A and B are shown apart, each in its own frame.
Chain A
């Protein structure tokens, strides 16, 4: 009995020592802010107990990214839901209303993350590699933490099938999209990607040019830009100004006859990672985000999945559609782009 009591005293003294130093996380929010050298160790142990992470993402390569994480951290499964930002917003808002905490971690565009921040659905966090990211890539809280950190940049430009369009007919700028040679050959993804391209044309060339596109017989496919790229690969779609550079580069590696060109400006999705405020599996969520934002994850995102980095110059002008706007302002702008997109693709 005495041995047990001594052991208990020893244990509590150790425990109180460690809490007393203030270096160990006492709560989930502390854990999200914790930067000690044993962060990964704590997160791995917790994540293994949690068993999985529920990840809502806009990335088309979600399966492949999940597999790499699962290979690095056996015992922690990634269950993913892939949707465009509007779909993710709808889902998360419905879940919040129904008080169902399904999602743990996010990787989506800033527009969705802005909505979640306003609705207090994000848990501020940090990550060991935070110093590697420029100021503009981080949505900081007043407490030196972050609502989200941008893990990649995806560039929207013109993708085309090299077998189906002559080199001289490939547009170099927005004005070229009106070329008679392209009539009936253009398609657009009816998601945020297509809307942002319409927004970019509107910003650079004005509404008149956007409306003239209606005469080009643009086909609206209600599929992701990644899926639209697959149709470009197959030759079913010949050209589309709503194609991501990274998808084309990946397809080229497989030998697909596709190419990508930037137009006047390149709408850029600075996709960010975030943690859900009511994550049921916070260790796994933080571990997954650390993986994506860590040096190894960033190398994979750039080299394997061909995403862009905010620190590199790719020879074109980037345009961040959400930058400097409040959520309400962005909603107004997005509604206008959406309306124009549907209008120019309607017969």
Chain B
């Protein structure tokens, strides 16, 4: 090689330099590909293996460890019960997805395409919703809509004598609360297509004599159809995976879904039935996989509907005239559904025990719950643990997915698609299932992290790889390859190009992704619920424990303080998302 270079030293230097640079890039790319691939393999493949193995192995007795189909046989022995589980799961997910989609899309249309007031407020509260842990909202809604003592039901009973006006402990209650939790997400996801839609088609319809509602029904909505379908499937999958609402609202209503069945197998029987829990997990993953396959098919063909492009359109706003304030009131639903459950918690946080507002209750108001919650060391530790785990998870997830996305987008390694497939695979893992899988994995392999915060870290990184990929792709695709090529032409080597060109340009998107992963992990319950130990509990688990142990006042005080912090972070996320035009 040296001889060759010496022999060719008469050739123009830049060519030789470029050849070496290309070789260096190739080597670097290959090393990076191998390292990133190994990291992804370690994160994704063993959990799949362990959950499958666990579902096919006898747990106890003389045949312990032997291959067996007993867990599946037990499930299908009571086929009607299994069908009921699947039916409940399907009704709950479809109902919630449809509800969230209807309300979210309507509100997004009102905010983006009409002159309804309060749109800024709606946006701010949509982002604030990211900062409020799901379990906090669920408990808040239970305090509001409990059939006997829910604050709203009590108020309506006092005013009208009707009792209860709405019973949260029902399928309708489950669907309502889940739909309200997902409405802000749908709102933000649907606002983008409404904002970037080519107005010429609507204008043509107007010129042809269509009325506003006809334009909306026949032009605007069909144009947004691919986005609607994609968002529908996303909310469907997330509702299939939901745990808090089925556990806290569904079980008292006598309604079991697949996630609660998995949980009951582990926590409700005398000795945990990991085998059956794993078998149910595999079945749930299969159902989620089918829905995701449909999602892939739908989003794979969205180019056919490329009426929504990156061009800087300014779609016209419909004048709602006298309906303007009705539209505005509907937009106030977003702030209301965040504020109401928090208001119920604020009330409970100042009381020695939960009770309806009355002069007696007012005389009992106290700060004791705040004192009690924060005098407990384990609660302080939970905050520190959550911060550590979420910081580490967000950093690791963004780093690994950025490298994977960079290799997929920029390198020409033939097998680079495998990185994409690996990083997106955890989408089929509901949080609770990831918890079971990681638990089985780290009880079996010699890496001694069971009982520490790092087992939760590995579960979180594996679970949220697809989210990191989404942001990393968004960052990289927005930067044209020309910029990196210009750097190389100017003599910049690979390292310099990455450091001086690529990183500064993608940092805002990656930072937004980082905050997003941080925010979802800091409020995540279902992954951590089976993995925490005393000393390694996280915020959402602490809230769950306080609820299960009946310390509602302390729970309310703790949740409110935590929510203040996470909401502040959600607002930073909003600023970044708006400044850099990022999608949620």
Contact = CB atoms under 8 A, between A and B. Distances in A.
Interface residues of B, number: 48
A205 B376 CA distance: 45
Contact of A224 (B253, B270, B272, B548): B548
Nearest to A341: B268
Interface in A254-289: 254, 256
A79 B536 CA distance: 12
A228 B450 CA distance: 31
Interface stretch (B146-154, B326-334, B427-435, B558-566): B146-154
Taking chain A's interface residues, is the majority helix, strand, or loop, or is none over half, making it mixed? mixed
Nearest to A234: B354
Contacts of A91: 533
Nearest to A332: B270
B255 A86 contact: no
Taking chain B's interface residues, is the majority helix, strand, or loop, or is none over half, making it mixed? loop
A164 B146 CA distance: 14
B20 interface: no
B534 A94 contact: no
A227 B547 contact: yes
B550 A228 contact: yes
A191 B269 CA distance: 9
A210 interface: no
A80 B534 contact: yes
A226 B270 contact: no
A102 interface: yes
A233 interface: yes
A94 to B, nearest CB: 6
Q: Which 10 A-B pairs have the closest CB atoms?
A: A227-B550, A347-B254, A234-B354, A98-B450, A235-B149, A81-B534, A230-B550, A219-B252, A236-B149, A334-B270
Given A81-B534, A233-B354, A342-B264, A94 B148 contact: no
B266 interface: yes
26 contacts: A63-B372, A77-B377, A82-B545, A86-B267, A86-B268, A86-B271, A94-B439, A98-B448, A102-B533, A187-B252, A190-B251, A219-B252, A220-B254, A224-B548, A226-B549, A227-B548, A227-B550, A230-B354, A233-B353, A233-B355, A234-B353, A236-B146, A338-B268, A338-B270, A345-B251, A346-B256
A54 B534 contact: yes
Interface string B343-368: 00000000011111000000000000
Contacts of A87: 267
B378 A335 contact: no
Interface in A206-263: 217-224, 226-230, 233-238, 251, 254, 256
A60 interface: yes
A187 B254 CA distance: 11
Contacts of B256: 342, 346
Interface string B246-260: 011001111110000
Nearest to B378: A79
A251 B550 contact: no
Interface string A49-68: 00000101000100100000
Contacts of A80: 378, 534
Interface of B: 146-150, 169, 247-248, 251-256, 263-264, 266-272, 352-356, 372, 376-378, 439, 442-443, 448, 450-451, 533-535, 545, 547-552
Contacts of B266: 90
Given A85-B270, A95-B450, A331-B271, 13 more contacts: A81-B534, A93-B271, A98-B451, A100-B533, A190-B268, A222-B251, A222-B268, A223-B548, A230-B353, A235-B148, A256-B353, A347-B254, A347-B255
Contacts of B442: 98
Given A236-B148, A335-B270, A94 B450 contact: yes
A90 B263 CA distance: 13
A69 interface: no
A100 B268 CA distance: 24
A320 B354 CA distance: 33
A154 B353 CA distance: 22
A156 B247 CA distance: 24
Contacts of B254: 217-220, 345-347
Contact of B443 (A54, A98, A111, A347): A98
Interface in A309-326: none
Nearest to A95: B451
Contacts of A82: 545, 549
Contacts of B263: 222
Nearest to B553: A230
A192 B267 CA distance: 10
